[in-house]
Amino acid sequence: MRFGRKPFANRHRGDDPVDERGLRGLVTLCLRDSGQLPEAKVTAKTLVTDGAVSTEDVLSLSRAAIWAMEQDDGWPVGLVIGDIAFAARAALPRAGAAYRLLGCDRVEIAHLALIHRPDANLLREATLVGAQVLADAEAAGDTATLGSTAHRLGCLYLDPWSHSAQGYHDEHRLWLSLAADDAAVAGLPEPLDALHRADVYLRVAEEARTGPALGLTLKARAQCLAQLRDLGAVIAERTIEDLCTRAGRLLPPELVEERLALETLSYSHVSTAAGS
């Protein structure tokens, strides 16, 4: 049992950071009746077009979606919030920074959703959105969004395909069994393909990021290569160790969970190498 966090469904409304105006009303409507979501998406776009809600309102809604998905049982709620924010994004100018940021958020929302439930359509959508953001960010010289989006794309293809070395295939089959239907898994990449793609994106992020953000990307790359190694890919002996070392120098002490995961990964790599 976890302590310090209430179940998402039992939180008081005052704990929920979603904006109280028009977009909040659409979210509430859709949480009561999921059949209202298609119409709510159209309305969200109209609200932005008519100036009834601001760009910052849409950005706040998108951040709230990610916040919700990071709670213990909040991912289905977060996905609904994210769908409405993403629909509102369509009314914003593509050349604007907010459009890129919301696209980056969409990749993260898909990443968090796929951890819980396979969804090939959501994966394809997020990949296309992310690729568009990368191109737009590069053209705009927006290195920060380019790096964040590349990192999130890497995690999109890393985390859902990450399992223990001993029980990888059983755990992967269990994850696939959580899909809503057969169509949701049709077209999903095989583990090796997904992980190789993750590393490609994480390499792009590695070139674009600095400081603690770079540390998180290096940690993710180390995890990705460890997963590939566990599945039989040939990885240079020092590559994972070097990534762990570089990440450890950049991650601040307050990122306790990330540093603990890094130390566990580094120890696991050393133990595996020593036993080979």
Asked whether residue 266 is domain-assigned, the answer is no
Give the mean model confidence (pLDDT) for residues 51-60.
Answer: 96
Among the residue ranges 10-19, 153-162, 257-266, the one predicted with the least confidence is 10-19
pLDDT of 57 reads 95
Q: Assess if residue 57 is contained within a domain.
A: yes
**Tens digit of each residue's pLDDT (9 = 90 or more) over 125-161:** 999 999 999 999 999 999 999 999 999 999 999 999 9
Mapped onto helix, strand or coil, the DSSP state of residue 76 is helix
- Overall number of domains in the chain: 1
* 61 within some domain: yes
The answer to whether position 19 is within a domain reads yes
Nearby residues of 161 by Cβ (< 8 Å), 6 or more positions away = 172, 189, 191, 194, 195, 198, 227
Please report, for residues 36, 58, 76, 196, the alpha-carbon distance to residue 83 in angstroms, rounded to integers and kept in the order given. 12, 11, 11, 28
Q: What is the enclosing helix (H) or strand (E) of 247? A: helix 237-250
Q: Please give the pLDDT value at position 6.
A: 35
Does the pLDDT of residue 7 top 50, yes or no?
no
Are the C-beta atoms of residues 73 and 9 closer than 8 Å to each other?
yes
Domain assignment present for residue 23? The answer is yes
The pLDDT of residue 1 is above 90: no
pLDDT tens track for 94-115: 999 999 999 999 999 999 999 9
Alpha helices (H) along 18-118: 22-32, 37-49, 55-69, 75-89, 97-116
Question: Is residue 125 a contact partner of residue 82, using CB atoms and an 8 Å limit?
Answer: no
Residue whose structure tokens are 């709620």: 77
Work out the burial of residue 93: count CB atoms within 10 Å of its CB; fewer than 13 is exposed, 13-18 middle, 19 or more buried.
Answer: exposed
Question: Residue 26: inside a domain, yes or no?
Answer: yes
Q: How far is CA 144 from the centre of its chain?
A: 16
Rounded Cα distance between 83 and 113, Å, is: 12
Among 69, 202, 84, which Cα is nearest to 148's?
A: 202
- Structural domain including 62 reads 12-92
Asked if the structure places residue 241 within a domain, the reply is no
Q: Which helix (H) or strand (E) holds 127?
A: helix 120-140
